[in-house]
Amino acid sequence: MIAIVYAIEIFPKGKLFYYSENGEDIKPGDLVLVMTEFGPDVGKVIKGPDEMGIEEIGSELRPVMRKLTEEDTKIYSENLKDAEQAMQICLEKIKEHNLPMKLLHTRYMFDRSRLVFFFSSETRVDFRELVKDLARIFKTRIELRQVGVRDELKFIGGLGLCGRPTCCSTFLREFDSITLKHAKCQQLMINTAKISGACRRLLCCLMYEYDFYEEALADIPSEGETIIYEAKNCKVQSIDVFKEKVLVISEEGEMINLPFSYFRGDARDPDK
């Protein structure tokens, strides 16, 4: 089944959520009202209208409630302003209760039915008393949502090892699972300080060229592996993925450069 949908971001550079059309003339850049897991909220249209299969979306498909009217825009602006004030009050209460948490973002639902506080912490936080204080002050439903360290950096931004703004705060909307396997495949030195980002997790950019290395090194022995070449045991010393050469050393100390094609069934003169 095909649906006409819009890709909408709720948080800047955050995950895109898909909503179906509602008959209005909506285009990228428009602010729209949509139903989220927390309640009605304002999002920005990034793409659309596009045709997509329901199975591609992978979640319940809801329609866009409406494009923001002039009155809606005033309410939204007021909510943003009040959310900033709520964040300052919450920061004071966190300090008052001496809680080990870092407040990152505060958001009112459009109808002010809920006030959501996003925070990070390295430990489990008992914020029951904090919630009671906030509910008494703001007279609405309070929700505190803990996020991981990678999402924390997406909220606050920062600079990467490359000197540029972090990918997660500029364009990377969703996180891939990164492991040391991705670094090893790209022949990087396994030094966590060199391959970890400001979030203290492995660099997201380790995924960018991983597919190239995985394909280029298919059927190629790993460094340190022992192979048999011309009836001699040889140890793989180094691999040059760009020149497509594998340097091996025989037990007699002879150094031999073998082309990648040798390991892929095209045995030929190793010097060619």
Asked whether residue 54 carries a pLDDT value surpassing 90, the answer given is no
Whether 270 is in a domain gets the answer: no
Domains identified in the chain, total number: 4
Asked whether residue 17 carries a pLDDT value surpassing 80, the answer given is yes
Asked whether residue 136 carries a pLDDT value surpassing 60, the answer given is yes
Q: What is the pLDDT of residue 239?
A: 93
- In a shared domain, residues 196 and 236: no
Q: What is the pLDDT of residue 269?
A: 47
Whether 218 is in a domain gets the answer: no
Whether 31 is in a domain gets the answer: yes
Whether 221 is in a domain gets the answer: no
Residues 29 and 45 sit within 8 Å (Cβ to Cβ): yes
Asked whether residue 13 carries a pLDDT value surpassing 90, the answer given is no
Asked whether residue 271 carries a pLDDT value surpassing 60, the answer given is no
Whether 172 is in a domain gets the answer: yes
Which residues are 145's β-sheet partners? 118
Asked whether residue 35 carries a pLDDT value surpassing 70, the answer given is yes
Asked whether residue 67 carries a pLDDT value surpassing 50, the answer given is yes
Whether 268 is in a domain gets the answer: no
Whether 16 is in a domain gets the answer: yes
Q: What is the pLDDT of residues 231-266, one digit of tens each?
A: 899 999 999 999 999 999 999 999 999 999 999 876
Q: Dihedral of CA 94/99/100/106: which sign?
A: negative
Q: Which domain holds residue 161?
A: 153-213
